[in-house]
Structure 1
Amino acid sequence: MTESVSTRSGMVALVGRPNVGKSTLVNALVGEKVSIVTPKPQTTRHRIVGVLTQPGLQIALVDTPGLHTGQRSALNRVLNDTAMASLSGIDVVLFLVEAGQWRSEDAAALARLEKLSVPVGLVINKVDRVPDKSELLPFIEQVAGKRAFAFVAPVSAKKGKNLGAIVDECSQRMPPGPFLFPEDEYTDRNLRFIAAETVREKLTLFLQQELPYSAAVEIERFDTGGEQIEIHACIWVSRDNHKAIVIGRGGAMLKKIGRAARLDLVERLDHRVDLRLWVKVRENWIDSEASVRDLGH
C-alpha cells in the first residue's frame, strides 16, 4: 500500500435506475473490465469496486445495482438494499441519468439520495444517442434543477467522451490519505467472482429475450494448481422450462455459453481455462431472501 501523505484517495458511488450505464462508466474510467455489461436491466447485482489509480490519486468507484421501483421479489429487495448500503462511507456520489430520458424511476432513485450530506454530481450519460444537441441543454437544465448538485458532467461512457471531467471533479473532492488499494489492483473482486460474472454475462447476452433475470451462477470448483485453471460452475434457474432453455437443443446453447465464457476468461486471466457448466433448478429462488443470499447476492 502507498502511504505517502501527498496522496489523495476516496470512494465514489455510482447510483441511478437500471440501464443508465453505471457499469459501462466504471469500466471506461478504470480502463479495465470491472463489471459485466449487457443490454438487460439489473445486470449488476453486487457492490463492485473499480480502482482508478493515477500519480498521487486513487479513486475507488463503487458500481451498484440499479435502484428500481417495486420490490416484487426477494431479489429486487436485496438489490435495492445493496445499492443503498453501498453509500456508507462514500466521499462523492455520481447520480447517473440517460440523456433525454427522465422517468419515474429516476425521480425515485434521486429521492433516495435526499438525506445524503456528501457531494452529489449529476452525470448525463449516453449523450452520443441524442442526434440534435440543441435538445440536450434544456434537458440538462431541467434535471440539474431537481437538486443542488455539486457539478454536472455530460458524458458518453461507451464512446469515452468527457470522462476527464468526472475524474477532475471527483479528484478535487478526494480527502488526503494513503491509497485504499495496491496500485496494481483494478478491482476488489477475486478470480472466482470474475469467473461467475463472466458466465452470467454470456448467459444474459445469448438469452436476453428468452430467459428472465431469475438465473444465478455459482462457482463450485476453482482450481489453479495445474497447467490450466479448472472451473466448475452451476447455473441456477427457478423453473424446469428455464433449464431446458439454457441447455438448448442437444446442449447447443450451453456449449455456446461455455465457449464464449471460456474464451473471455482466457483473455482476462491470461491462462488456459477448462470451464465446465451444469444447470440446476432451485424452485422460485428469487422469492426467498435466504436463497438469494445463499447464491451470493
Structure 2
Amino acid sequence: MTDDINQFVLPIIPIAPDGFKSGFVGIIGRPNVGKSTLMNQLVGQKIAITSPVAQTTRNRLRGILTTEKSQIIFVDTPGIHKPHHTLGKIIVKNAQAAINSVDVILLVVDSSVPSGGGDRYIIELLENTKNPVILGLNKSDQQSSEYQPLDESYGNLIKEYNWPIIKFSALTGEGLETLQNTLIEKLDPGPYYYPPDLVTDQPERFIMGELIREQILQLTRQEVPHSVAVVIEQVEETPNITRVFAAINVERSSQKGIIIGQQGSMLKAIGTAAREQIQKLIAGEVYLKLFVKVEPKWRQSNLRLAEFGYRLEK
C-alpha cells in the first residue's frame, strides 16, 4: 500500500543565484494613504482589500514579489492612528511592531494633501530605527498644479534624516518601477524565503473573509464598517464548485439590520460582489452563503478578538 503522505508534493524553494537580494519591506503610514493598493500593484494581484473607509487593514498582510534577481516580501500594516478600543490598540501595536521586524521601511504618505501631525508622529517613531527608510509620496495622480509646496511639506519633515524620496501613484502605477528598484538597492543579498510563484503567505480562507469585508466597507458607508468581523466557518470543495459559508459579526442589532437591508437587498448585494472576487481568487465557481450575527462589544473582548483572528503579533 502506498503511503498517503507520498501523494503530497511540497512547494520547491530554489537556491538563490549569486547576487540575489531578498528581504522584508514594511509599508507603514497613516490610515487611507494607499498602502494596500500599493502592495496589490507591486505584487500584481489583489491580496489586500482596499476601501475609501479609513483603517481598512487590520492584520499584517504579506505580499511577495519575486523577480529574476530579487524577492521582496512586503508587509502591509494597519494605519497608525490613535486607538479608541481594544481592537484599535492591537492594530496599532502590530503596526509599530512591524517597524522593528523588517529590513527596509517604506513610509507612505498622501502627497495630494499637506503633511500633518499624524505624519510627524510616525516619523518620530522611526527616529531610532536602524533600518533604511524610504519616504513614498503616493497619490501623485491626485495632486493639483500646486504640487511643489505639497512635496516640500513632506521633504521638510525628513530633511534631517536624509531619507530618499520617491514619488508615485499606486493607482496608475506611475513611478512604481523607480520605487521597486530603490527598495531592491536597500536590501542585502539573501535567499528565497518563499517559492517564486507565491504572492502571499496568507491562507485562502483569510483572503476570502477579507474580500467579503471589503464589500461591506464599500457598500455600507455608515457606522457599520469598523464593527464588522467576518469569519469563514466552512469551505466545501468539489470538482465543479466551491461552497463557502461565512458569518458576518456585528456589535448591535441595528447594524445587523443595515447589513441585511430591506428584504435582504444589502446582504444580497454584498454576497454577489464578494462572490465575484472570490471566484477570481480561486479561479473557479463559488457558492457563497452569508449569515449575520450580533456579538455585543466584540471589539472590547480579548476572547472574541482572538476567536475572530485578531491578536498581538510578535
Asked if Structure 1 and Structure 2 have the same fold, meaning a TM-score greater than 0.5 normalized by the shorter chain, the answer is: yes
Deviation, 1:207, is 0.3
Q: For 1:118-197, what aligned pairs fall within 5 Å after superposition?
A: 118-132=131-145, 133-145=147-159, 147-197=160-210
Structure 1 counterpart of 2:86: 74
CA distance in 2, matches of 1:295, 1:271: 26
8 Å contact kept, 1:199–1:258:
yes
CA distance in 2, matches of 1:134, 1:283: 48
Per-residue Cα deviation, 1:229-272 (whole angstroms, up to 9, x for no partner)? 11100000001110011001111100110011011111221111
Q: Letter of the aligned partner of 1:108 in structure 2? A: Y
- The more displaced of 15-24 and 264-273 is 264-273
8 Å contact kept, 2:224–2:250:
no
Structure 1 counterpart of 2:283: 270
Deviation, 1:16, is 0.7
TM-score normalised to structure 2 length = 0.90
Name which of 29, 34, 44 aligns with 1:31. Answer: 44
Deviation, 1:137, is 4.2
CA distance in 2, matches of 1:134, 1:111: 24
Q: For 1:81-120, what aligned pairs fall within 5 Å after superposition?
A: 81-99=93-111, 100-120=113-133
**Structure-2 change in CA distance of 1:53 and 1:258 (3 Å):** same
CA distance in 2, matches of 1:57, 1:111: 30
CA distance in 1, matches of 2:150, 2:209: 39
- The more displaced of 185-194 and 223-232 is 223-232
Q: For 1:14-53, what aligned pairs fall within 5 Å after superposition?
A: 14-53=27-66
Deviation, 1:212, is 4.1
Q: For 1:214-225, what aligned pairs fall within 5 Å after superposition?
A: 214-225=227-238
CA distance in 1, matches of 2:157, 2:169: 17
Q: Letter of the aligned partner of 1:257 in structure 2? A: I
CA distance in 2, matches of 1:83, 1:284: 23
Per-residue Cα deviation, 1:71-125 (whole angstroms, up to 9, x for no partner)? 2200110101111222343110001111133122222222222221100111111
Per-residue Cα deviation, 1:138-166 (whole angstroms, up to 9, x for no partner)? 33432332x51431101111111101121
Quick check: 1:208 aligned with 2:221?
A: yes
**Structure-2 change in CA distance of 1:137 and 1:295 (3 Å):** closer
Q: Letter of the aligned partner of 2:96 in structure 1? A: M
1:221 match: secondary structure? strand
Percent identical: 35
Q: Letter of the aligned partner of 1:142 in structure 2? A: N
Name which of 235, 240, 257 aligns with 1:244. Answer: 257
CA distance in 1, matches of 2:233, 2:222: 27
Deviation, 1:129, is 1.3
CA distance in 2, matches of 1:212, 1:59: 31
CA distance in 2, matches of 1:9, 1:169: 13
8 Å contact kept, 1:15–1:93:
yes
8 Å contact kept, 1:53–1:59:
yes
Which aligned segments of 4 or more residues in structure 1 are displaced greater than 4 angstroms?
none
Q: Letter of the aligned partner of 1:9 in structure 2? A: S
CA RMSD after TM alignment: 1.5
**Structure-2 change in CA distance of 1:97 and 1:185 (3 Å):** same
Is there any run of 5+ residues in structure 1 with no aligned partner, and where? none
